[in-house]
Amino acid sequence: EAQVTQNPRYLITVTGKKLTVTCSQNMNHEYMSWYRQDPGLGLRQIYYSMNVEVTDKGDVPEGYKVSRKEKRNFPLILESPSPNQTSLYFCASSLSTGGPYNEQFFGPGTRLTVL
């Protein structure tokens, strides 16, 4: 089954404790992306990757890191989480960003609470 998986689905942590949210897709997609969703703000792109070893900042990259060492995986790293990073996070992938192949497939989401 074609899918994007994220782990963990729920996480409660404390300020400053490094964490990683994993994301994996099995569709051989070139493009992967991380979003955060907050009430009234919609989905905001954190980082995206056009291909292996190619990553770029989105609209809200502060406090986050990513890596793309393999095509299928795109982990999101919070080196020193703070309460303002409490949010719902989605990983997504697509064949490309333009043309008819930019349909993004989203993972199930990770609800993060930073105390």
Partner 1 sequence: GQSLEQPSEVTAVEGAIVQINCTYQTSGFYGLSWYQQHDGGAPTFLSYNALDGLEETGRFSSFLSRSDSYGYLLLQELQMKDSASYFCAVSGTGNQFYFGTGTSLTVIP
In the complex, what is the shortest distance from the CB of residue 25 to partner 1, in angstroms, rounded to a whole number?
Answer: 13
Q: Report residue 90 CA to chain centroid gap.
A: 5
Cα→Cα distances 104→9, 29, 62, 77, 90, Å? 19, 10, 23, 21, 11
Of the two residues 69 and 100, which places its CB atom closer to partner 1 in the complex? 100
Min CB(22)–partner 1 separation in Å: 16
Looking only at residues 48 through 87 of this chain, which bind partner 1 when binding is defined by CB under 8 A? 48, 50, 56, 58-59
Measured between alpha carbons, how far is 58 from 48 in angstroms, rounded to an integer? 7
Q: Which residues bind partner 1 (CB under 8 A)?
A: 31, 33, 35, 40-45, 48, 50, 56, 58-59, 90, 92, 97-100, 102-109
